[in-house]
Amino acid sequence: MAAAVSAPLLRFHHHHRCLLRHSSSPRRYPAGFSRGLSSVSFGLPRSTTTAARSTASPSAPSAAAAEATDAASAQAGSDGKGDGVGEEERVVLPTNESSDRLLRIRHTVLAFCCLPFLTSLPVINLCAHVMAMAVQKLFPNSKVTIGPWIDNGFYYDFDMEPLTDKDLKRIKKEMDRIIRKNLPLVREEVSREEAQKRIEALNEPYKLEILEGIKEEPITIYHIGEEWWDLCAGPHVESTGKIDRRAVELESVAGAYWRGDESNQMLQRIYGTAWETEDQLKAYIHFKEEAKRRDHRRLGLDLDLFSIQEDAGGGLVFWHPKGAIIRHVLEDSWKQIHLQRGYDLLYTPHVAKAELWKVSGHIDFYKENMYNQMDVEDELYQLRPMNCPYHILVYKRKLHSYRDFPIRVAELGTVYRYELSGSLHGLFRVRGFTQDDAHIFCLEDQIKDEIRGVLDLTEQILGQFGFRYYEINLSTRPEKSVGSDDIWEKATLALKDALEDKGWEYKVDEGGGAFYGPKIDLKIEDALGRKWQCSTVQVDFNLPEQFDITYVNSNSEKKRPIMIHRAILGSLERFFGVLIEHYAGDFPLWLAPIQARILPVTDNELQYCNEVASELKSKGIRAEVCHGERLPKLIRNAETKKVPLMAVVGPKEVQARTLTIRSRHSGEIGTMPVDEFFRRIQLAIANKSSSL
């Protein structure tokens, strides 16, 4: 992706880190959540949910899209622990954005201190205060700090002795007692001097620091009855009795530094969740259990897909044979589709002279995310953090005419970025990863068609995996930017027109674009309703200027082309992690590392089984023979390893030269000749079906 030469690059590169590698939203999530997740709207069975989606792909009407998502979830649960999406009445879980009441409840439970940004939030408010009050009743020497809400609850930091799970149970019981007392929430306005006087009387040093950061007056205080008070912007529900104590749970405790600075005091962070009803809490707990069951790190180990080898270094992914074959299928499909869509494939080096990264702006503005330079024969070289400069060098190798455009180049390019060891997380945040990167060089009047082409390509590629629901944001010109008003207007209009041509709903993020151009960001929704940032399309007016790339127009004048950056999967590692969790490791037939396992009833059928396996392999089917156990155990083993198809072979099958087929998803299919089995597998693979 693009580099820059001015301060706004910092936001751009932060965007790239979140989008194209493996970082998560800056928010912190309770234990049990998968990092890399942008937001959550649950899609689960009774006591489970699906929240309203921000946008959906128009190519898949809501009913069809729901069917696709439900099928993916049902498939992922076919090992007997099914999701059961769509099986019974659903419990719809509200979000902080959709439910004013929920925000008030959570804030009241959590005890938000009066942070300046809270004044712009209409509601998030009582579980917070109740929890802080309970903590200070049980631990009188504890000091209250701050804690923001998160998508599914809250956390709060306290300066106090280390807490245990047993302490959390005590705190929850005290919270229940406070809730049952139905104490009123009373708002009071005081002067800054009065607030300071009261805080000093309580000996709360963190509150004094918070007070210093509050610029608005008067200062607001919320009282829980006459027993406890806190600085807060509010608002709250009217009394503690408005909270359903059965819909509140304290989840975990962890260490955290004050203000996130490791030179500051270590605090105790309590994570909690709060909902409007007990059913919603049960749905949320079910979601957490399901998310844990789908954790790509556990499944990667259980299914022998990948590993992180500490002997080699943290954040470096080893693709095992079964994971590598899935990657091969992904890459092969990606390349074929891109060639069909008019892209030229590139392979470029993993290192380059440091000077290249000076021109691109990375050395000045991205150095903290780059590895140390290497001295090669008295010249400094740098591992690449991005692919853009390489593609520009390929463009610059010769003079281009306006007749050459558009020029589309694509590469599965491996990049390296420095990450602190504490931030590494499975496949979602690593130090080396492969981007499905592409760049389009075009004329101004070609921008709309090229953007539309990228959106069509995005839909085609993501649709292969059953992703039908998208959340789309269009980010426009920020205050600081490069490029003329005219080209910004044309580029932004082209992005809008392309989205509207597709019939896709989108939200406009005014001023949220990169300094070098407007962009479209797309999040996909998985089988659990979680949203993952994957695809991006970005118009760039800056790098063509920095690298002085030109073309010759119809008047033989040198002009600057438009450069479009785009990625669809984001990175293979992160996308693979998303797929593992989306399918719960139960990959559809076309992706499965082993598509068919041939099972002899006894070793007498082994020779025939080996002949069948060889024939299937010669035709491109990923097949293997397993024997040495009784047939029921062989079938159970295949189910455990999530093999889509099993071919059982006994004496009758050998004599008739047939196979008895069992599908993981459809059960017994029947007996058929080998050629028929092969034909049906081929058809299922071509249709991206889960089974025959």
What is the 3 state secondary structure string of 72-123? HHHHHCCCCCCCCCCCCCCCCCCCCCCCHHHHHHHHHHHCCCCCHHHHHCCC
- Considering only residues 84 and 555, tell me which one the structure prediction assigns the higher pLDDT: 555
- Angle subtended at Cα 227 by Cα 225 and Cα 230, rounded to the nearest 5 degrees: 85
Q: Considering 286, 301, 333, which residue would you say is the last residue of a domain?
A: 286
CA 629/CA 638 separation, integer angstroms: 12
Give yes or no: residues 126 and 177 share one domain: yes
Q: Are residues 122 and 269 in the same domain?
A: yes
CATH code of the domain in which 131 resides: 3.30.980.10
Residues in the chain: 692
Quick one: what percent of the chain has pLDDT higher than 90? 67
Confidence of residue 60 (pLDDT cuts 50, 70, 90): very low
Can you give the pLDDT at residue 276? 86
Question: Residue 440 above 50 pLDDT?
Answer: yes
Asked whether residue 272 is domain-assigned, the answer is yes
Whole-number pLDDT of residue 238: 84
For 10-29, give one letter per residue: b (16+ CB within 10 A) or e. Answer: ebbbebbbbbbbbbbbeebb
> What whole-number percentage of the chain has pLDDT above 70?
81
Q: What domain range is 264 assigned to?
A: 117-286
CA-only gyration radius of the chain, Å: 28
Cis, peptide link before residue 561, omega less than 30° from 0: no
Q: How far is CA 415 from CA 21, 192, 418, 439, in A?
A: 9, 52, 10, 16
Same domain, 251 and 371: no
In a domain? residue 340: yes
Q: Which residues contact 205 (CB under 8 A, 6 or more apart)?
A: 143
CATH number at residue 636: 3.40.50.800
Give domain status of residue 302, yes or no. no
Of 583, 610, 635, which residue is a domain's last? 583
DSSP SS3 for 644: coil
> In this structure, are 421 and 281 located in the same domain?
no
Residue 511 near residue 479 (C-beta atoms within 8 A): yes
Q: If you average pLDDT over residues 171-187, what whole number do you get? A: 93
229 and 327 in a common domain? no
Helix (H, G, I), strand (E, B) or coil at 124: coil
Examine the domain organization and report whether 135 and 158 are in the same domain. Answer: yes
Mean of pLDDT values over 615-638: 96
Arithmetic mean of pLDDT, 568-581: 97
| Together in a domain, 281 and 337 | no
408 in any annotated domain: yes
- Cis check: omega of the bond before 205, within 30 degrees of 0: no
Q: What is the CATH number of the domain that holds 425?
A: 3.30.930.10
Among 38, 48, 61, CA closest to 524 = 38
Cis peptide before 218 (omega within 30 of 0): yes
> For tokens 């200070």, what's the residue?
136
Could you tell me the CA-to-CA distances from 448 to 289, 382, 451, 453, 491 in Å, in that order?
Answer: 44, 35, 5, 9, 8
pLDDT, position 99: 57
> What local confidence, expressed as pLDDT, does residue 648 receive?
97
Residue 299 lies in a domain: no
User: Which segment of 22-36, 216-230, 458-472 scores lowest on mean pLDDT?
Assistant: 22-36
| 401 and 265 within one domain | no
Q: Which residue, 217, 252, 286, sits at the end of a domain?
A: 286
Mean pLDDT of 488-515: 93
Q: Do 334 and 391 have their domain in common?
A: yes
Higher pLDDT, 692 or 410: 410
Model confidence, pTM: 0.79
Q: Which H, E and C letters describe 314-356, residue by residue?
A: CCCEEECHHHHHHHHHHHHHHHHHHHHCCCEECCCCCEEEHHH
Residues 239 and 338 in one domain: no
Phi-psi group of 548: left, alpha or beta (phi > 0 → left; psi -120 to 50 → alpha; rest → beta)? left
H/E element holding 552?
A: strand 551-552
What's the pLDDT band for 235 if we cut at 50, 70, 90?
low
Please indicate, yes or no, if residue 40 is contained in any of the structural domains. Answer: no
264 residue type, one letter: N
For residues 192-216, average pLDDT = 92
CA 184 remoteness from chain centre: 40
User: Over 80: is that where the pLDDT of 17 sits?
Assistant: no
DSSP state of 561: P
Report the number of distinct structural domains present in the chain.
3
Distances from the Cα of 553 to the Cα of 141, 276, 420, 494, angstroms: 75, 63, 48, 21
Q: Is residue 264 part of a domain?
A: yes
Residues taking part in catalysis: 388, 417, 435, 437, 439, 519, 565
pLDDT value of residue 150: 76
Over residues 382-429, the pLDDT tens digits come to 999 999 999 999 999 999 999 999 999 999 999 999 998 888 999 999
Rounded distance between C-alpha atoms, residue 287 and residue 292, angstroms: 8
Q: What is the structure's pLDDT at 46?
A: 31
Handedness of CA 358, 361, 367, 371 (dihedral sign): negative
Distance CA 73, CA 83 (A): 6
Distance separating alpha carbons of residues 417 and 431, to the nearest angstrom:
5
Mean of per-residue pLDDT scores for the chain: 83
Which of residues 340 and 690 earns the better pLDDT score? 340
> Is the same domain home to 273 and 371?
no
Q: Is 450 contained in some domain? A: yes
- Give mean pLDDT, residues 348-368: 89
pLDDT in tens, 276-290: 889 999 999 999 999
Verify that 243 and 339 share a domain, yes or no: no
- Residue 84 phi, psi dihedral angles, 5° rounding: 70, 30
pLDDT at position 29 over 70: no
CA dist 153 and 127 (Å) reads 9
Q: Which long-range CB contacts under 8 A does 369-372 form with residues at least 24 apart?
A: 369/13, 369/17, 369/417, 369/418, 370/417, 370/418, 371/416, 371/418
